[in-house]
Amino acid sequence: MSPQSAIQHEDALHHLHPFTNSGRLNKKGARVITRAEGVYIWDEGGQKIIDGMAGLWCVNLGYGRTELADVANEQMRVLPYYNTFFQTTHGPAAALAKAIAEVTPGDLNHIFFANSGSEAIDTIMRLARHYWAIKGKPYRNILIARENAYHGSTLAGASLGGMGGMHKQGAPLVPGIERIRQPYWYGEGGDMSEDEFGLACARALEEKILQVGPDNVAAFIGEPIQGAGGVIVPPETYWPEIQRICRKYDILLVADEVICGFGRTGNWFGSQTYGIEPDMISMAKGLSSGYLPIAAVAVGDRVANALIDHDEDFNHGFTYSGHPVAAAVALKTIEIMQQENIVERVRDVIAPYFQQKLAELADHPLVGHIDKKGLVAGMALMMDKATKTPFPADIDIGMICRDHCFENGLIMRATGSRMILSPPLVITEAELDELFLKARHCLDLTLKTVQ
Ligand code: PLP
């Protein structure tokens, strides 16, 4: 295949794609998506594709929500832009801050706006360090994160994340970051039970804190469930122990909820699913169901009050922090979620069905193990599941499977040899039946390709 259509030609000539080998892509041409409705997208060739990834884990309410388009249109006519710098605000930003504070857990009562998850993470890094400086401990500036974490693509986000491929490019990284192991039981748990392994991984945090000195650590940050790392669902013992350790050493606990936030795990936030009481959380994606770029950091009273009581400005912000149109769309998104009981439906109806369908898929010869929670799952594809033997490096099993999915009307993402599902939260049982029928068919085709 080579670039065929006018869009593909233009794209190949001028568009550099994120996380893509553009040279290779340009030879065949990018897949052109032209429209979307509900849980389906259509490509230029007219193929209807079921979106098992909700875009990039974000289109939680599905495509084609005219209420969101109407709100954006209205807001653009009234006040398309004004900033929230220099002691100004506007209705959408204030109302959205209140709405977020109401749905977040604990005392996360204060909201700082950004445009992307990465910017939210940068904000958290600066805020955590600034907090300790205000407290008279500027040396408390180390952030502890995890191997195989994903916290975005800005320099700070890439540095904080644990992706080797990202660290290799654009170095040197931001200093003052330490890393501990990830709680990936199927891949790294060895002979330990899941519970034992969860505790061992959490205690790696304590070891790291003692190694660098508790009084040098600002914060620990983790995704409640690692998303881009392959959907790594932690053992149940993991987060309570992390919580205990952070409290013991008075270290700020940060949950990166960019994927888990807004219903994905069957609660408004992953922190509620795991009983985490974070000092700050980052959110993006589902905040506007992906309809417009907007992100936020929800800040607990402890950190926010330090900032509020401090007699200096917080020298940080973005031109579009709290953009009125994006804020209006996010506000409407939350309203729809509440009116349609989206979170309750995920928890009580659609996630249990999703889990049942995943359990049925587990007998497939390629599927070694499935990590799952709420409406998100990661499947480890193995060459021999009985002996837990992975495919050799020269067989890119994830890409083979992903391509079969593409060709057969299903979006399933590959992270290495793991296949990921994270469909729109509004998906129906019948649509899940179709999705899983296609998933099994594509796994069969993948198996045939490598046999
Ligand atoms: N944090 C997490 C957990 C994410 O999954 C992502 C994106 O996938 C980000 C941060 C970065 O978000 P963005 O791509 O909006 O900058």
| Rounded average pLDDT per 10-residue block, the chain, 451 residues | 84 96 92 98 97 98 98 98 96 98 98 98 98 98 98 97 95 97 97 98 98 98 98 98 98 98 98 98 98 98 97 95 98 98 98 98 97 98 96 97 97 97 98 98 98 91
The answer, yes or no, to whether any atom of ligand 1 lies below 6 A from the CB of 364, is no
For atom 12 of ligand 1, the residue with the nearest CA is: 117
Q: Which two tokens stand for residue 265?
A: 């795990």
Q: What is the pTM of this model?
A: 0.98
Helical H segments across 54-90, by residue range: 54-57, 66-78
pLDDT at 1: 53
What sign for the dihedral angle of Cα 270, 274, 277, 279?
negative
Cα(176) to ligand 1 centroid in Å equals: 21
By the 8 A CB rule, do 122 and 156 touch? yes
Separation of 118 CA from ligand 1 center, angstroms?
Answer: 6
User: Helices 66-78 and 324-339 meet at what angle, rounded to 10?
Assistant: 150
- Long-range pairs for 24-29 at CB < 8 Å and ≥24 separation? 27/2, 28/1, 28/2, 28/3, 29/1, 29/2, 29/3, 29/4, 29/5
Pairing relation of β-strands 410-411 and 376-381?
unpaired
pLDDT at 200: 98
Q: 3-state DSSP call for residue 377?
A: strand
User: Ligand 1, closest atom to CA 56?
Assistant: 8
pLDDT of residue 337: 98
**Strand partners of residue 314:** none
Ligand 1 proximity of 423 Cβ (cutoff 6 Å): no
Q: How far is the CA of 117 from the centre of ligand 1 (A)?
A: 4
Q: Is 256 in the pocket of ligand 1 (CB under 6 A)?
A: yes
Predicted pLDDT at 247: 98
Largest CA distance in the chain: 68
Are 118 and 154 a contacting pair, CB within 8 Å?
Answer: yes
Q: Which residues pair with 37 in a beta bridge?
A: 40
Q: How many helices (H) and strands (E) does the chain have?
A: 18, 15
Residue closest by Cα to atom 7 of ligand 1: 152
Report whether 148 contacts 184 (CB < 8 A). yes
Verify whether ligand 1 is closer than 6 Å to residue 292 (CB atom).
no
End-to-end Cα separation, the chain, in angstroms: 25
Phi-psi region of 59 (alpha: psi -120 to 50; beta: other; left: phi over 0): beta
Ligand 1 geometric centre to CA of 226 (Å):
11
Q: Supply the pLDDT for residue 4.
A: 84
pLDDT in tens, 309-336: 999 999 999 999 999 999 999 999 999 9
Alpha carbon distance 340, 330 (integer Å): 15
Name the H helices within 163-228: 164-167, 185-188, 194-212
283 and 320 in contact (C-beta within 8 Å)?
no
* CB of residue 150 inside a 6 A radius of ligand 1: yes
Which residue, by CA, sits nearest to atom 13 of ligand 1?
117
